Amino acid sequence: MANHPQIEAQVSRLAEELRCLVCQNQTLADSTAPLAEDLRNEIRAMAAKNMSDQQIVDYLVARYGDFVRYRPPFKASTAVLWVGPFALLLLGVIFVSVFVRRRESHMAPVSSNIEQARKVAELLRQDQ
């Protein structure tokens, strides 16, 4: 069972995707907690039984919840998590564009006369 390269590849692929619940900011692959080791062994046993990635993830989600997944699925309870940053970015863009446009409309019209503009530039230079 051990040292079968295909199984080991599946175990390490899944262990990178799954969270260790004891030390929550580590993946199962990184963690040295006893539970993480147990779960890696459990995954290895399932992989040896030819279970797919999806089946193995489902098995763990049924026991530990979506929290074991580093990439939680999109559903009602996680919608804010997935959509929130983009919604905030959009709000920010709208806010800035409205703000900038308003400020522009309050500005004095810029002279389009090239001659005048050159005079202004000359006066400014003399000033220095």
Partner 1 sequence: MKRLFILIPLAAFLILVGFLAAGLRHDPHEVPSPLVGKPAPLFNLPRLNDPQLTLSAAEMQGQVWLFNVWASWCAPCREEHPVLLKLAASQIVPIIGMNYKDERDKAIAWLRQGGGDPYLTSVIDQEGRTGIDYGVYGVPETYVIDKAGIIRYKHIGQLTEQVVAERLLPLIMELNAE
Our finding on whether 73 is near partner 1 (CB under 8 A) is no
Segment 85 to 104, residues that bind partner 1, using CB under 8 A: 95, 99
Our finding on whether 24 is near partner 1 (CB under 8 A) is yes
Our finding on whether 6 is near partner 1 (CB under 8 A) is no
What angle do helix axes 53-64 and 34-48 make, rounded to 10 degrees?
140
Which of residues 6 and 105 has its CB atom nearest to partner 1 in the complex? Answer: 105
Distance CA 7, CA 31 (A): 19
Our finding on whether 82 is near partner 1 (CB under 8 A) is no
Q: Closest Cα partner for 13 from 50, 57, 49?
A: 57
Site residues (CB under 8 A) for partner 1? 21-22, 24, 34-35, 38-39, 42, 61-67, 95, 99
